[in-house]
Amino acid sequence: MKSVSLNDFINRLHIMKKNTVTMNDVAEKTGVSKTTISRIINQIPNAASKDTTEKVLKVIDELGYYPNQVAASLKRTTTRTIGLVMGDIENPFYGLVIKGVEEVVRSSGYSLILANSNYDMAAEIELCMLMLSKQVDAILVAPSGSSSCNQYAAVFERQTHLVFMDNYIPGCNVDAVMVNNFKASKEACNHLISLGHREISFIAGTPKKISSDDRTRGFLSALNEKYGSSVTPVVKNGDYTVAGGYNCMKQLLEMPEIPTAVFIANNLMTVGALGAIKDAGLRIPGDISVLGFDDMNWYSINQPSLTAIDQPAFEIGKTAARRVVMRLSHQKQPAPEIIQLDARLIVRDSTAPPRSHRITPKS
């Protein structure tokens, strides 16, 4: 019987009307007007005498009053909330970007509304609109693909502050923060070239996505500068997924002449590619060198440790958030720009000079 009455008690607790102490209650109990109370809460200088302030604060404490920010937001026409739309929050790279964003956003006095688009471009826009109707002050988005700019027109019409991260939609003329993909990719490829590789294959990401295409271009550029038309680069499309990486790698390993090195455009595809190499029974870097875009915390403890391009994910998030906060606090708005941070190549053991022995694909 005891448990029944406990349940009842809990039910009542939950159904009970929410504890709604409003500013009116404080006003009534103190005999001070809402105006003054509001000023005290918002710490307006010279708004209330020491006496009044103390009295009000005491009552606020007694009643357990805390201001309803929804009401405040309505009148202020600003919610001090920023929207964040990501393609895949599960990916540790994006996780770190989010962490960076969150840190800056919160320490600047804003909150974060998060949504996951699952790389669905239509959903992405939809989510932006939803956030706008929730009156976010600005939106940060990691665009999934290359929606043309006019798909974002609906968002622009609302004239919010918009900042892209990790990728951008061309022609949109908004701030974007990302790594210098072309440069990083070229540097990575040059590393392989400097080791003596010629037959380098590239497992690319989502086609037509700017960030992805930049990586491809960087790869091709390095190869072309060194070898011109004497080598025909092999580029496969892995769509940034583990499965995609696995399949691409498998295809590469079925070529008559297996490449001596692979460069893989992101972390998930690298996992897939490593799986395919393992399944094929090949050794890294003895049989094939492997270099991945995105560094992961386990790359250094992998056998062999993996050479990778380290994107400053945390910094990307922080920079983008700072940009947004800047736009929200300054009146003067600098022209939107594409801010490119530098990635850095971390050379480890998975890249080595090309094999001298022949490998024939099985099956």
Partner DNA sequence: TCATATAATGAAATCGGTTTCGTTAAACGA
Partner DNA sequence: TCGTTTAACGAAACCGATTTCATTATATGA
Binding interface with DNA (CB under 7 A): 20, 22-24, 31-36, 38-39, 41-42, 46-53, 65, 67-68, 71-72, 74-77
Site for a second copy in 58-117 (CB under 8 A): 64, 66-71, 73-74, 77, 79, 81, 84, 88-92, 94-96, 98-99, 102-103, 106, 111-116
**Residue 41 or residue 280: which is nearer to DNA going by CB?**
41
Question: Is residue 259 at the binding interface for a second copy, with CB under 8 A as the rule?
Answer: no
- The interface partner of residue 92, options being DNA, a second copy, none and the CB cut-off 5 to 8 Å by kind, is a second copy
Q: Which of 37, 56, 104, 131 binds a second copy (CB under 8 A)?
A: 131
- The interface partner of residue 332, options being DNA, a second copy, none and the CB cut-off 5 to 8 Å by kind, is a second copy
DSSP 356: S
Pick the closest to residue 113 from 80, 141, 83, 89 (CA basis).
Answer: 83
Beta strands 344-346 and 307-310, pairing class: antiparallel
- The interface partner of residue 79, options being a second copy, DNA, none and the CB cut-off 5 to 8 Å by kind, is a second copy
Q: CB neighbours of 146 closer than 8 A, spacing ≥ 6?
A: 169, 170, 208, 209, 210
State the nearest-atom distance from the C-beta of 166 to a second copy, in Å.
16
Site for a second copy in 162-201 (CB under 8 A): 173
Angle between helices 34-41 and 50-63 (to 10 degrees): 90
Spatial distance between the Cα atoms of 97 and 90, rounded to a whole number of angstroms:
11
- The interface partner of residue 31, options being a second copy, DNA, none and the CB cut-off 5 to 8 Å by kind, is DNA
Phi/psi at 237 (nearest 5 deg)? -110, 110
Structure tokens at 239: 């769509």
Q: State the DSSP H helix or E strand holding residue 345, giving kind and residue range, or none if neither.
A: strand 344-346
- The interface partner of residue 19, options being a second copy, DNA, none and the CB cut-off 5 to 8 Å by kind, is a second copy
